A and B are shown apart, each in its own frame.
Chain A
Amino acid sequence: MPIFILRRFAVLALALLVVTFLVFLIPYIGETDPVRALARARFGRLDLDAATIEALRLELGMHRPLIVQYLDWLRSAVTGDFGNSYMSREPVVEQVWSALKVSVVLTLASLGFAFAVAVPAGSIAALRQGGSFDMATKSLSQAFVAVPEYWLAPMSILVFALYLGWLPSAGWRGPESVILPALALSLRPMGYFTQVMRASMIDVLNSPHIVAAHSRGLSVRRTLIAHGLRNALLPVITLFSVWMAGLLGGAVVIEVIFAVPGMGRLVYSAIVNGDIPVLQAGLVAIVTLAVVINTVTDLAYTVLNPVVRIDNATA
Chain B
Amino acid sequence: MPQLDTPLSPDSVQGMRSRMGNLHMVKSWLVHLSRHNRTLLVAGSVFATVIVLLLLTPWIAQHAPSAMTLSERFAGPSAEHWLGQDHLGRDVFSRLLYGGQFSVSITTITLVISAVVGTLLGVISARAGGVVDEFLMRLVDLMISFPDVLVALLLVAILGPGYGTLILALTITGWTPFARMTRGLALEINAKDYIRAAEILGCSRTFIIVYHVIPNVLRPLATIAFLRFGHKLITVGSLSFLGLGVQPPDTDWAAMLAEALPYLDRAPALVLIPGLAIFITALSVTLVGQGLEAHLDAKMKWRHESK
Give the B-binding residues of A (Cβ under 8 A).
Answer: 7-8, 11, 15, 23, 25-26, 29-31, 129-130, 138, 142-143, 145-151, 154, 158, 188-189, 192, 195-196, 198-199, 202-203, 206, 235, 239, 241-250, 252-253, 256, 264, 267-268, 271-272, 283, 286-287, 290-291, 293-294, 314-315
B99 at the interface (CB under 8 A from A): no
Chain A residues in 8 Å Cβ range of B156:
271
B72 contacts A by Cβ under 8 Å: no
Minimum distance in angstroms from B240 CB to a CB of chain A: 9
Known A150-B254, A150-B258; judge A252-B275 contact (CB<8 A).
no
Q: How far is the CA of A147 from the CA of B134 in the complex (A)?
A: 36
Residues of chain A within 8 A of B283, CB atoms compared = 142-143, 145-146
B278 A148 Cβ-Cβ under 8 A: yes
Instruction: Give CA–CA (A195, B230) in the complex, Å.
Output: 16
Looking at the complex, which one of B5, B154, B242 makes contact with A253 (CB distance below 8 Å)? B242
- Taking CB as reference atom, which chain B residue is nearest A274? B157
B231-263 Cβ-contact flags toward A at 8 Å (1 or 0): 100100110011000000000001001100100
Complex alpha-carbon distance, A138 and B286, angstroms: 13
User: Chain B: how many interface residues by the 8 Å CB criterion?
Assistant: 54
Query: By the criterion CB–CB under 8 Å, are A15 and B142 in contact?
Result: yes
Residues of B within 8 A of A283 (CB): 150
Nearest CB of chain B from residue A124's CB, rounded to whole Å:
14
- Docked-complex contact A146 and B282, CB < 8 angstroms: yes
CB distance from A281 to the nearest CB of B (A): 14
CA distance A149 to B237 in the complex (A): 10
A290/B160 contact (C-beta < 8 A), A198-B302, A250-B147, A252-B149 known:
no
* Cβ A199 vs Cβ B287 within 8 A: no
Interface check B307, CB cutoff 8 A? yes
Looking at chain B's contact residues, the main secondary structure is helix
User: B196 an interface residue at 8 Å Cβ cutoff?
Assistant: no
Is the CB–CB distance between B150 and A196 below 8 Å?
no
Does A148 lie within 8 Å of B279, measured CB to CB? Answer: yes
| Cα distance A273–B282 in the bound complex, in angstroms | 34
Interface residues of B (CB under 8 A from A): 1-6, 134-135, 137-138, 141-142, 144-150, 153-154, 156-160, 230-231, 234, 237-238, 241-242, 254, 257-258, 261, 264, 271, 275, 278-280, 282-283, 286-287, 290, 299-302, 306-307
Q: Which residues of A contact B159 (CB under 8 A)?
A: 29-30
Enumerate 26 A-B pairs (CB-CB under 8 Å) in ascending A order.
A29-B158, A142-B283, A142-B290, A149-B238, A150-B258, A151-B278, A188-B4, A188-B234, A199-B300, A202-B301, A235-B6, A242-B2, A246-B3, A246-B145, A246-B146, A246-B147, A249-B147, A249-B150, A253-B238, A256-B242, A264-B149, A264-B150, A268-B242, A271-B156, A293-B145, A294-B142
Distance in Å from the Cβ of B304 to the closest Cβ of chain A? 10
> How many angstroms between the C-alpha atoms of A242 and B7 in the bound complex?
12
Give the distance in Å from the alpha carbon of A7 to the alpha carbon of B300 in the complex: 34
Taking CB atoms, residues of chain A closer than 8 Å to B138 are 8, 11, 15
CA–CA, A151 to B279, complex, Å?
Answer: 10
Partner of A192, one of B4, B145, B287: B4
Say whether B2 contacts A246, CB under 8 Å.
yes
CB-defined contacts of A267 to chain B, threshold 8 Å: 150, 153
For the complex, give the distance between the alpha carbons of A267 and B150 in Å.
Answer: 8
Residue among A129, A189, A290 making CB contact with B301, cutoff 8 Å:
A129
User: How far, in angstroms, from A252 to B240 measured CA to CA in the complex?
Assistant: 12
State whether B258 touches A271 (Cβ < 8 A): no
Chain A: CB-nearest residue to B238: A253
Q: Chain B residues with Cβ under 8 A from A129's Cβ?
A: 301, 306
Report whether A199 and B302 are in contact in the complex, using a CB–CB cutoff of 8 Å: yes
Please state if A30 and B160 are interface contacts (CB–CB under 8 Å): yes
Chain A residues with CB below 8 A from B3, complex form: 242, 246
- Indicate whether A146 sits within 8 Å of B6 (C-beta atoms), given known contacts A271-B154, A294-B141: no
Q: Give the CA-CA distance A145 to B134 in the complex, in Å.
A: 32
